[in-house]
Amino acid sequence: MDEIEQEDINQVTEYNSIPPNDCLNKMANGWSPWVLDVRLQSENDIVKLPFTDIVVPHRTVRPDHVPLTGDILVYCKGGVRGKKACAQLVKMGIDPKRLYNLDGGILRWQKDVDPQMPRY
């Protein structure tokens, strides 16, 4: 599949964007999304969110990588690949209301939530 273009990302905006602190608060109150890391496995090997369910590079993400029901939290390094993955999943038929892109990716999680995490 061709990589989704920037203009396509801008057109597909129905999915949710969630800042790390809001994500953490929702999880503390029982939210339990399926967590999809759309970075390369080599990046995940350096640092990851401890509750990650699967690693699938954003260019290859497909609906069969995610569960049929429930919320899906998507993250990458800085947020851009997460947006691409969300847009791609929406175009492939995943309900955009189920998708939550981690705003700012793992870099913002490190900055706002856990500064002890390794950086790369």
pLDDT at 10 over 60: no
Name the 3-class secondary structure at 14: coil
Top-confidence residue, 77 or 1 = 77
Q: Three-class SS string for 49-104?
A: CCCCCEECCHHHCCHHHCCCCCCEEEECCCCHHHHHHHHHHHHCCCCHHHEEEECC
Look at residue 3 and tell me whether its pLDDT is greater than 60: no
Domain 6-112 CATH assignment equals 3.40.50.1980: no
**How many whole angstroms separate alpha carbon 40 and alpha carbon 78?**
13
Angle, helices 105-112/20-28, rounded to nearest 10 degrees: 70
Q: What is the pLDDT of residues 38-85, one digit of tens each?
A: 999 999 999 999 999 999 999 999 999 999 999 999 999 999 999 999
Tell me the domain boundaries of the chain. 6-112
**Per-residue pLDDT, 32:** 97
pTM above 0.75, yes or no: yes
The per-residue pLDDT for 8 is 53
Task: For the chain, give the longest Cα–Cα distance.
Answer: 38
